[in-house]
Amino acid sequence: MKVVRMLINGSQEYKIWKKQAPFLYDVLLTRALDWPSLTCQWLPDETTASHSSGFKTYSLLLGTHTCKTEQEYIKVCGVDIPTNEFQGGGEQPIKRVDTLQKIAHEGEVNRARYSPVNPSLIASTAVSGDVLIFDRTALPEDHETKCNPRYRLKHHTRECWGLAWSHEDANRLASASEDSTVALWDVSSNESSPIQVLRKHTASVNDVQWSKTMPKVFGSVSDDMSIQIYDVRTDESSSSLAPASIVTTYDNAHSTAINALSFNPFNEHILATGSSDTSVHIWDLRCLRKPVYGLHGHSGDVSALEWSPHDESVLATAGYDRRVNVWDLSLVEQEQTEDEQSEGPPELLFIHGGHTNKVIDVSWHPAIPWMLSSVSEDNIVQVWKIAGSVVDHDLDEDEDQKEEEETSDKDDSEKPNQQEDEKMDESAQ
């Protein structure tokens, strides 16, 4: 079974998925939150769970969206993950999700992201358009009701959704807003205004991301259907920062709004984008005239996407169709049987069908391969790890195919020797 998919339509989908779940996951945890979270991201924290030696506690960054009925918070939650994976346990309620820290927030939390250089720094976007910076180590763990950010960054005039820290500079931050601008910030400058404002888009800017392999390069995507790639280097030989300049612009990259982008963390040339046209495009930054691949597996807006930090060819995409799709681009154009073709393209490795409402955000675990978290509009957060029997099966098939090819090559190489032996026998007679 190379690909596991949930392609049944209607109200039966979730029931069918739940019945098959024990065979699809090594870990599957679900929790209903008090309020929806529009954001999720694994933090690099790890501790041994105090209540059991059979668990490790990992930290997950969430937010609240109470529609102005209660105080809003950024939440750092401790999620207990079993050190021994479930064996046929099916969907398990998370028995222990401790709120390790609640950080009072001004308005709904559209997005919250930690700095990969300094994980104690958390940036968030507010409904007002302000970007708030918190130092979680300097804040009390007790639940406060007063928002007290370390910095309040003011520029955007409308809601802000895109937010990304630099991978090499703990003080460098980019934000993107419905006001059609991208702002660059230096949080060490004690200035509340951006160091640069980029006005290349003509509509709402939905996401901004930095490249990990080219740390001074970042990109943005917009409702105007364009991709903008920027560079903050003064020149190719310089390591210093300069005002960001446009490197590449590609208009009409999708047929409608582009909601998300992600730079491949292994290959500096590869970029993924997700759109409201339901498609995911894979781009080579050296030539943005057309996508290298088009991935078609969602039936609704693609809301978020992220490359795996463990495998160069693996990408997760989340959508309004209640799905998280996991793709393996190494399988593109792989030959399929007729039955396999009816299930979908070969690169669609896995479909997570555990949500019953729009999936808003998805995050790969930084230390545990094949483990992800995802949040949906119906207050659900899920933590799940694809079964080794699913992903390892592909590796086994590749190894079997390689062995068959080697055996075939060996047989072919022996044929001339066999023919020579037969000729020698005939002449001897």
The strand order across the sheet containing 131-135 reads 111-114, 121-125, 131-135, 151-153
User: Are residue 360 and residue 425 in the same domain, yes or no?
Assistant: no
pLDDT in tens, 275-307: 999 999 999 999 888 999 999 999 999 999 999
Above 80 in pLDDT, residue 19?
Answer: yes
Same domain, yes or no: 308 and 426: no
**Same-domain check for residues 218 and 83:** yes
Hey, what amino acid is at 203?
Answer: A
Same domain, 267 and 133: yes
56 part of a folded domain = yes
Q: Are residues 357 and 419 in the same domain?
A: no
Residue 105 lies in a domain: yes
Instruction: Give me the chain's average pLDDT, please.
Output: 86
Six token digits for residue 138: 């300097």
Q: Name the token pair of 192.
A: 């509340």
Q: How far is CA 319 from CA 303, 307, 322, 351, 357, in A?
A: 5, 15, 6, 11, 10
Residues 303 and 408 in one domain: no
pLDDT tens digits, 223-234? 999 999 999 875
Residue (of 102, 12, 10) closest to 64 by Cα position: 102
Question: What is the residue range of 288's domain?
Answer: 12-390
- 3-state class (DSSP) for residue 58: strand
Give the pLDDT band (50/70/90) at residue 146. confident
Collapsing DSSP to helix, strand or coil, 163 comes out as strand
Angle 139-142-146 from CA coordinates, rounded to 5°: 65
Are both 201 and 303 inside the same structural domain?
yes
**Phi, psi at 401, each rounded to 5°:** -65, -40
204 with 278, same domain: the answer is yes
In a domain, 4, yes or no: no
Count of domains for the chain: 2
Same domain, 280 and 422: no
306/137 Cα distance (integer angstroms): 27
356 and 296 inside one domain? yes
pLDDT tens-place string over residues 370-387: 999 999 999 999 999 999
d(CA 199, CA 230): 12
Phi, psi of 374 (to 5 degrees): -145, 150
Residue 10 per-residue DSSP state: S
Distance CA 246, CA 232 (A): 9
pLDDT value at residue 153: 96
The answer to whether residue 3 sits within a structural domain is no
Domain assignment present for residue 5? The answer is no
CATH classification of the domain holding 355: 2.130.10.10
Global confidence as pTM = 0.86
Residues 41-61 have a mean pLDDT of: 81
**Is residue 328 one of the residues assigned to a domain?**
yes
Looking at residue 219, its amino acid is G
Question: Containing H/E element for 296?
Answer: strand 293-296
